[in-house]
């Protein structure tokens, strides 16, 4: 049965699945409600896909990919640029959906939704830039000038995009837009807690004229749909953003296909002598608590030189005290709930455990249902779980060190390596930090909490492999053939 996406009033939205750009009910007719993490009210309803829907979506994608790869790049770009315009026109509405289902303050949700147009346009451009190389074959002994060789970059075919809940628009667009721009069919599996944003964005691509077969969105349980999608040999590329545990599972069952894994983190910020304490404390007070700390590049760990620790904390605490926790839709709220009560309880317990092991809680850390008040914990040993494990909550763990080398060791002292920041220090220390910290992005003069949509973005170590950022994503969603013309 075919269903229209229900157009959205601000309060409650209802969607079917998208299979090959058509709105449909799940094969078994199953639906589920989407609830607000703030007050539990129903904010929408979606279909629940089964493995049968995965098969139908992959069939549709096979047909769609064959048409889309033969569509000239300039025609694809026209359609994507139209999708960018539509997403921009609907940005306020999409922001309301993001805030309702994810719980982030409306102001943050607007910021996220308003980046949509730019991400799609940057991707559309990169999709027109699939250059290759000409090969100097005659430099190879035994080969003459009777041959010519070059590389040809082409779409992989079908991309499976699996996304987490914390940036329901941004992280969907960082996969779907480059995949479409470079001529692939995409099957998107958004997070179960935040499917509505993904579907609203898919609506923009469909309304812009993305042809039949090319885009599918399957909402439903990650394990079931994920296993069926990632093991299907017709899927040529998996682009996954989510936890390290799920990333490891995908890597173990995917078989022979391209993978990019954007995984967990415990990102450090070094504060060294000479740091602008006002600037550093303001950046930490923002980067540690935005989206209730549910950000892969959140400032989870601050590693501060002993000589400036007191000054730094004196500057940080009043800024943390200004964070206003409350209803995400209310003006002035800067901290919303965590995504579920289970997550809030996990964060509360991690802080409690650190304190029971000797760390000091200077402020916050109290839980009320899905909320945890913004916390600052000092005296944290890098070996403690609060530093080692990804927290994904509104708390900053402060570790004190006596010199630069101990700071670098502490920064590198977890399994993760997504991003890091450094304030202060000498030029030589900055250059050393840039080379010695094992992280995918290093920010000199800022915290890890910063991203431009066009920059290569991705982690090292347990934070994954592969890069996003529109140019890198286009590169990873295409493959290179070598063509030799024999005279």
- Give min distance, CB of 263 to ligand NAD, in A: 5
How big is the site for ligand NAD, counted in residues (CB under 6 A)?
A: 32
Asked if 300 is part of the footprint of ligand NAD (rule: CB under 6 A), the reply reads no
> Between residues 232 and 390, which has the closer beta carbon with respect to ligand NAD?
390
Compute the distance between CA of residue 392 and CA of residue 300 in angstroms, rounded to an integer: 8
- With CB under 6 A as the contact rule, the residue among 56, 113, 265, 420 that binds ligand NAD is 265
192 is a site residue for ligand NAD (CB under 6 A): yes
**Are 336 and 104 a contacting pair, CB within 8 Å?**
yes
Residue 260 · residue 468 · CB < 8 Å: yes
Q: Are strands 237-241 and 441-444 parallel, antiparallel or unpaired?
A: unpaired
Strands across the sheet containing 134-135:
134-135, 147-155, 478-486
Which residue among 8, 46, 80, 191 contacts ligand NAD (CB under 6 A)? 191
Stretch that binds ligand NAD, among 7-15, 77-85, 110-118, 246-254 (CB under 6 A): 246-254
Does residue 59 sit in helix, strand or coil? Answer: helix
Beta-carbon neighbour count of residue 211 at 10 Å? 18
Cite the beta strand spans of 243-300 per DSSP E.
258-262, 268-271
Q: Could you tell me if 105 and 335 are in contact, meaning their C-beta atoms sit under 8 angstroms apart?
A: yes
Pairing of strands 237-241, 215-217: unpaired
Cβ-based nearer residue to ligand NAD, 15 or 392: 392
Among 153, 234, 249, 319, binds ligand NAD (CB under 6 A): 249
Minimum CB separation from ligand NAD for residue 166, in Å? 5
214 binds ligand NAD, rule: CB under 6 A: no
Question: What is the rounded CA–CA span in Å between residue 15 and residue 189?
Answer: 14
Place of tokens 């995504």: 339
To ligand NAD, the closest distance from the beta carbon of 423 in angstroms equals: 23
**Catalytic entry in 21, 101, 296, 468:** 296
Residue 264 touches ligand NAD, criterion: CB under 6 A: yes
Structure tokens at 408: 């670098």
SS3 assignment, position 2: strand
Helices (H), 290-358: 309-321, 341-356
Residue 448 makes contact with ligand NAD by CB under 6 A: no
Query: Which one from 88, 101, 108, 262 is the annotated catalytic residue?
Result: 262
Q: Is residue 418 close enough to count as binding ligand NAD by CB under 6 A? A: yes
| Residue with Cβ nearer ligand NAD (126 or 262) | 262
Told to judge if 476 belongs to the known catalytic residues of this protein, a careful annotator would answer no
Nearer Cβ to ligand NAD (183/458)? 458
Taking Cα atoms as reference points, which of 282, 265, 307, 313 lies closest to residue 446?
A: 282
User: Maximum distance among all alpha carbons in the chain?
Assistant: 76
Tell me the chain's radius of gyration from C-alpha atoms: 23
The reply on whether position 262 binds ligand NAD by CB under 6 A is yes
Among 51, 243, 363, 412, binds ligand NAD (CB under 6 A): 243
Please identify which residue in 16, 37, 64, 242 interacts with ligand NAD, judged by CB under 6 A. 242
Shortest Cβ distance from residue 359 to ligand NAD (Å)?
A: 22
Does position 263 interact with ligand NAD (CB under 6 A)? The reply is yes
User: Based on CB atoms, which residue is closest to ligand NAD, 96 or 191?
Assistant: 191
**CB of 275 or CB of 439, closer to ligand NAD:** 439
Interface map 147-176 toward ligand NAD (x if CB under 6 A): ---------------xxxxx----x-----
Closest approach of ligand NAD to the CB of residue 265, in Å: 5
Angle formed at CA 134 by CA 130 and CA 136, multiple of 5 degrees: 160
From the CB of 195, what's the least distance to ligand NAD, in Å?
Answer: 9
Number of residue whose CB is nearest ligand NAD: 226
Q: Which is nearer to ligand NAD, 250 or 280 (CB)?
A: 250
Give the residues across from 135 on adjacent strands: 149
Residue of 277, 245, 275 lying closest to 261 (CA atoms): 245
Binds ligand NAD by CB under 6 A, chosen from 123, 241, 382, 441: 241
Residues 6 or more apart whose CB falls under 8 angstroms from that of 444 comprise 421, 422, 430, 433, 434
Mark whether 278 is an active-site residue.
no
CA–CA separation, 467 vs 238, rounded Å?
A: 12
No. of H helices and E strands in the chain? 16, 25
Q: Is 204 in the site for ligand NAD (CB under 6 A)?
A: no
Q: Which of 115, 189, 237, 471 binds ligand NAD (CB under 6 A)?
A: 189
Instruction: Please answer whether residues 478 and 130 qualify as being in contact, where contact means their C-beta atoms are separated by less than 8 angstroms.
Output: yes
CA end-to-end span of the chain, whole Å? Answer: 56
Between helix 73-89 and helix 91-102 the angle, nearest 10°, is: 70
Footprint of ligand NAD on residues 220-239 (CB under 6 A)? 222-223, 226-227, 230
Q: Give the nearer residue to ligand NAD in terms of CB position, either 79 or 351.
A: 351
Residues marked as catalytic: 262, 296
Would you tell me which residues interact with ligand NAD (CB under 6 A)? 162-166, 171, 189-192, 222-223, 226-227, 230, 241-243, 246, 249-250, 262-265, 296, 390, 392, 418, 459, 463-464
């Amino acid at each position: 049965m075919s269903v229209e996406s229900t157009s959205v009033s601000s309060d409650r939205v209802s969607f079917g699945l998208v299979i090959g750009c058509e709105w449909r009910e799940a094969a078994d007719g199953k639906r589920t409600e989407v609830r607000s993490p703030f007050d539990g009210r129903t904010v929408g309803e979606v279909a629940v896909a089964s493995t049968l829907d995965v098969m139908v979506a992959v069939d549709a994608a096979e047909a769609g990919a064959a048409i889309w790869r033969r569509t000239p790049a300039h025609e694809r770009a026209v359609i994507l640029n139209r999708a960018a315009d539509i997403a921009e026109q609907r940005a306020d509405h999409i922001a309301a959906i993001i805030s309702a289902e994810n719980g982030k303050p409306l102001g943050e949700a607007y910021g996220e939704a308003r980046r949509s147009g730019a991400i799609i346009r940057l991707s559309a451009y990169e999709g027109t830039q699939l250059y290759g190389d000409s090969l100097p074959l005659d430099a190879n002994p035994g080969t003459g000038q009777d041959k010519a060789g070059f590389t040809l970059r082409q779409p992989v075919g079908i991309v499976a995009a699996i996304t987490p809940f914390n940036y329901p628009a941004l992280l969907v667009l960082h996969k779907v837009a480059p995949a479409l721009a470079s001529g692939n069919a995409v099957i998107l599996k958004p997070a179960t807690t935040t499917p509505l944003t993904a579907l609203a964005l898919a609506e923009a691509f469909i309304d812009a004229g993305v042809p039949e077969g090319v885009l599918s969105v399957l909402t439903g349980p990650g394990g079931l749909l994920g296993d069926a999608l990632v093991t299907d040999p017709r899927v040529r590329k998996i682009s996954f953003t989510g936890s390290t545990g799920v990333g490891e599972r995908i890597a173990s069952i995917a078989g022979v296909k391209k993978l990019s894994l954007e995984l967990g983190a415990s990102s450090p910020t070094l504060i060294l002598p000479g740091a602008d304490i006002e600037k550093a404390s303001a950046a930490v007070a923002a980067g540690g608590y935005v989206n209730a700390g549910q950000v892969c590049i959140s400032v989870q760990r601050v590693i501060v030189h002993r000589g400036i620790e007191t000054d730094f904390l004196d500057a940080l605490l009043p800024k943390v005290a200004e964070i206003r926790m409350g209803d995400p839709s209310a003006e002035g709220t800067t901290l919303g709930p965590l995504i579920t009560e289970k997550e809030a309880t996990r964060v509360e317990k991690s802080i409690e455990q650190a304190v029971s092991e000797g760390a000091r809680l200077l402020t916050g850390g109290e839980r009320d249902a899905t909320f945890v008040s913004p916390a600052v914990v000092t005296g944290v040993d890098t070996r403690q779980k609060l530093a080692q494990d990804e927290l994904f909550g509104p708390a900053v763990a402060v570790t004190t060190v006596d010199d630069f080398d101990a700071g670098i060791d502490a920064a590198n002292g977890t399994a993760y390596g997504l991003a890091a920041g450094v304030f202060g220090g000498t030029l030589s220390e900055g250059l050393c930090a840039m080379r010695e910290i094992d992280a995918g992005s290093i920010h000199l003069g800022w915290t890890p909490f910063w991203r431009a949509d066009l920059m290569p973005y991705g982690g090292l170590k347990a934070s994954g492999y592969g890069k996003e950022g529109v140019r890198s994503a286009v590169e990873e969603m295409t493959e290179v053939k070598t063509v030799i013309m024999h005279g």
